[in-house]
Chains A and B, each alone.
Chain A
Amino acid sequence: MTLTQEIITIALCALATMCTRFLPFLIFRSDKPTPKYIRYLGKALPAAIFGMLVVYCLKNVNVLSGSHGFPEGLAILLVVMLHLWKRNMLLSIGGGTVCYMLLVQLVF
């Protein structure tokens, strides 16, 4: 690729990203009331999206081979328990991550 072609490729990636980020805001302008159905979606979507993002993070975990997803499963269990116990974001995230690192580096 020439430098110009590289710049165009990067610019297209940026443009596509901005399309997906700006489109909802351009279609549903804030000076007009948002349609009821879209407002409903706006409220109902977050919980579904966070579920999707958790699965998205785990998409490359293979339960049939390798470590069978044990490090991920155990670390997530710890995150859930820590969070239900103390409800402190930093503690839950930090504890779970350290646990995962120890598991993949030393155990599995």
Chain B
Amino acid sequence: MSGRESKRGVVKRSFLAAFPKTIPIMMGFLFLGMSYGIYMKVSGFSFVYPLCMSMVIFGGSLEFVAVTMLLGSFAPMQTFLMALMIQARHLFYGIALLEKYKGTGWKKPYLIFGMCDESFSINCATEVPEGTDKGWSYFFVTVLNQSYWVIGATAGGILGSFITFNTEGLDFVMTAMFVVIFIEQWLKEKKHYTALIGVAASAGCLLLFGADSFLIPTMVCILCFLTVFRKPVEKAGGLS
């Protein structure tokens, strides 16, 4: 009995610790999700589409691109390859979370399924406080984030263009969040080799390849740099 009660306490504490971390994402996802739902609506799709797509795909940028795919002619091979390229960055997330997601039991498949940029960032960058459970904390972050997105997308699809206050610029909430997490990561390190490699490779590839196709070259560059400079990076320490 007491064992069961303390387990419920741990689950509750995990939820209470996870929820505040997801508040910025709630703002961002409700807004972006709604924009996506509205975009689908004005492109001629019922709200069932954003509802289903936000549940099974759960990847913002691909879902926007998928609207264009659905409006074009049927091209399965091209769709699949394009989707792989847009989503390739998740390979990095998986490698970074291999150790953290170990031992999370039945929640693990869902944690991986719901590993979007934002859930990855929170689960990767923040510590799980004492008295909470790692698996449940990651689970609540992931499930809350996905609910915000699904609710936003569906609401956008149903309500369409009833929103009256000027929301221009609200999508900056995501940029601000990544900047904050970047600073947190920066403050944690003694030397900033990896952070600098990430920024320099992305900025360089963005200039070379343009906004639509710089992610894959960036990832290749980051891998090369991290491999070549493995010794100094490891020696610098501070890799938590």
User: What residues of B have a CB within 8 angstroms of the CB of A52 in the complex?
Assistant: 89, 198-199, 201-202, 215, 218-219, 222
Complex CA distance for A60 and B172, rounded to whole angstroms:
12
- Contacting residues, chain A, for B233 (C-beta < 8 A): 44
Q: Are A39 and B183 in contact (CB under 8 A)?
A: no
A57 touches B226 (CB 8 A): no
Residues A9 and B168 in contact in the complex (CB < 8 Å), given A49-B93, A79-B176: no
Which of A55, A94, A101, A105 has the most chain B CB within a 10 Å cutoff? A55
- Chain B residues whose CB sits within 8 angstroms of the CB of A1 once the complex forms: 70, 73-74
Interface residues of B in 41-73 (CB under 8 A from A): 49, 52-53, 56-59, 62-63, 66, 69-70, 73
Q: Are A9 and B74 in contact (CB under 8 A)?
A: yes
In the complex, the answer to whether B98 meets A83 with C-beta atoms within 8 Å is no
B66→A13 contact, CB < 8 A = yes
Stretch at the interface among B10-18, B78-86, B130-138: B78-86
In the complex, what distance in Å separates the CA atom of A41 from the CA atom of B20? 29
CB pair A42 B222 closer than 8 Å: no
Which B residues are in CB contact (< 8 Å) with A53? 117, 121, 178, 182
Q: Give the residue name and chain of the A residue nearest to B104 (CB).
A: A30
The distance in angstroms between the C-alpha atoms of A45 and B94, with both chains bound, is: 10
Q: Which residue of B lies closest to A55 (CB)?
A: B202
Min C-beta distance of B154 to chain A, whole Å: 15
Number of A residues contacting the other chain (C-beta, 8 Å)?
68
**A55–B174 alpha-carbon span in the complex (Å):** 12
Main secondary structure of the interface of B (DSSP, over half): helix
* Contact yes or no, A13 B79, CB < 8 A: yes
Q: Do A40 and B170 contact each other (CB < 8 Å), given the known contacts A18-B113, A49-B93, A72-B175? A: no
The digit string for A12-40, where 1 denotes a CB below 8 A from any CB of B, is 11111111111111001010001001111
- B189 proximity list for chain A (CB < 8 A): 47
A54 to B199, CA, bound (A): 8
Considering only CB atoms, which chain B residue lies closest to A76 in the complex?
B179
B55 shortest CB reach to chain A, Å? 9
In contact, B113 and A21 (Cβ under 8 angstroms): yes
What is the size category of the interface that chain B forms with chain A? 35 or more
Known: A34-B98, A101-B169. A10 touches B66 (CB 8 A): yes
Question: Are A50 and B182 CB-contacts (below 8 A) given A25-B112, A59-B214?
Answer: yes
Q: Please, which residues of chain B bring their CB within 8 A of the CB of A75?
A: 172, 175-176
Q: Which of A5, A10, A34, A84 has the most chain B CB atoms inside 10 A of its CB?
A: A10
- B202 A16 Cβ-Cβ under 8 A: no
Q: Is the CB of A17 within 8 A of B180?
A: no
Interface residues of A in 57-85 (CB under 8 A from B): 57-60, 71-72, 75-76, 79-80, 83-84
> Given A28-B98, A52-B222, are A97 and B73 neighbors across the interface (CB < 8 Å)?
no
List the A side residues contacting B81 at CB < 8 Å.
16
B62 and A17 contact, CB distance less than 8 A: yes
A44 to chain B: which residues have CB within 8 Å? 194, 226, 233-234, 239
Q: Which of A5, A9, A84 has the most CB of B within 10 A?
A: A9
3 smallest beta-carbon distances between A and B, as pairs: A51-B198, A24-B94, A48-B198
